Amino acid sequence: MTSATAYCPALFVTAPSSDSGKTTLVAAMARYWRNQGKKVRVFKSGPDFIDPIFHEFASGQPAYQLDLGMLGEDICKQHIYLAAKEADLIIIEGVMGMYDGINSSAALAMKFGIPLLAVINAAKMAQTFGAIAYGLANYNKDANLFGVIANFVGSPGHTQMLKDSLPAEIAFCGAMPRDPSLALPERHLGLIQANEIDGLDQWLDHVAQVLGENCALPLPEPIAFEAPQSACGDFLNNTPMAQPLAGKTIAVAKDAAFTFIYRDNITLLEQLGANIRYFSVLHDAALPKADSLYLPGGYPELHLTALSQNKAMQQSIIEHIHAQKPTLAECGGMLYLLEELTNKDTDSAQLTGAIPGKAVMQKRFQGLGMLTAKLGEHQLTGHCFHYSKSQVDLQTIAIATQAGKTQMQEPVFWHNNILASYVHWYFPSAPALIAALFNGQFDSIIEPSE
């Protein structure tokens, strides 16, 4: 059977390393072309939660993660195909350096035949700019790095020097000035969340204007993107599925403290038949009426006072758990269920106490990477990035482990119908397991009957 095909221009924005300015440039591009009347769909390579929110503000369209390791090739392919059917342009922001990791930006771009544009931090640099661009383009001859943008450039003379350093086969696509007004503010887990920035639309219009004045931005040539033949990505296209969660309502925390939610997770839950009810742990007095609870990750350490003072919400969650209703707690959601959390300023707060244990924020990150846990016969994949160190007084039911040489590990806990860990799970990696969890049938998965 021949796959369906959609045609759309696409561009993969990469860099030699993190902190090169990719997110700012991608947001500026999305807003620039949106302001030209184009429908732009933006993706983020890797499991990042924060950058896609900026992409959504910039483009006015939903943004998703793309990661060959977490999503798999078929779901990545489905995402790009569906975007190509409706968009005038697809932009993908890379992660870290262009060749970093097994599932690198270069690997993803080559997999789908998308040309790469490198953003290079040119501050304190002259002819070495050309050497870096040449290395990126030639490290793997199958990677189509067609051009570069110089970032943090000091003057027109500096720009010309950088341009002259490039080999003829690599296009100089422009230079962005060294200007503090173009920078996004940062915080310990990365960028401040988009909804925390006043005047974000004005800032986006500003950087888009500067980009248009300093960079050549013709639309790339359309690329043919095929739909996957596998059924793995069907939930993205609203293909009819079995609905084991029909009639079930899942309360999902979503506010400034709990915001790290993969869109694909919610899409899958809805396709499995669930009704999603969002609520605020910070501001609401009680859970909405629900059959199960999902506490995703976020920044509970930045909202200790509000979380600890909202005793009504804590009591509502305790009642939910005492009623033996399922709960999934990821990273910050797990911290909220502990007895105590201490932030980096050594301020401590008593929290829900549904899980015996405490956590303390550290100055350096304590866990980072893609992990997989074996739960019964199922493999559940996810990502973690956390700065806290916790002591949980429970036996583990599984250890989420990282493939490759690093072998990072994270414990997974099961207590009073709560599945808790530092891992932000990607639900489509094990839909049957997720359905069993939110259906209150998780015990039968981890302890199958004879």
Among candidate residues 76, 215, 331, 384, the one labeled active-site is 331
The amino acid present at 320, given as its one-letter code, is H
- From 117, 83, 94, select the one nearest 46 (Cα to Cα): 94
What is the per-residue pLDDT across 199-258, written as a single tens digit (0 to 9) for each?
788 889 999 999 999 999 888 899 999 998 876 667 787 777 789 999 999 999 999 999
352 HSE (CA, 13 A, CB side): 25
Query: All domains of the chain, ordered by start, with CATH?
Result: 7-226 (3.40.50.300), 242-446 (3.40.50.880)
pLDDT value at residue 240: 73
When pLDDT is averaged across residues 96-125 and rounded to a whole number, the result is 95
- Write down the pTM of the prediction: 0.91
331 is catalytic: yes
> How far apart are alpha carbons 71 and 236 in whole angstroms?
12
Q: How sure is the predictor about 365, in pLDDT bands with cuts at 50, 70 and 90?
A: confident
Question: What's the pLDDT band for 122 if we cut at 50, 70, 90?
Answer: very high
| Segment 30-35 long-range contacts (CB within 8 Å, at least 24 positions apart) | 30/55, 30/58, 30/59, 30/91, 31/58, 31/59, 31/204, 31/205, 31/207, 31/208, 32/208, 32/209, 32/211, 32/212, 32/217, 33/88, 33/89, 33/217, 33/219, 34/58, 34/59, 34/60, 35/205, 35/208
Does the structure show a pLDDT above 60 at 192?
no
Q: Tens of pLDDT along 270-312?
A: 999 999 999 999 999 999 999 999 999 999 999 999 999 999 9
Least confident of 56-65, 273-282, 337-346, 401-410: 401-410
Over residues 40-90, the pLDDT tens digits come to: 999 999 888 888 888 999 999 999 999 999 999 999 999 999 999 999 999
353: left (phi over 0), alpha (psi -120 to 50) or beta: left
pLDDT (average), residues 143-165: 97
Residue whose entry in the numeric block shows the structure tokens 């270069």:
106
- Within 8 A by CB and 6+ apart from 160, the residues are none
CA nearest to 109, candidates 228, 11, 230: 11
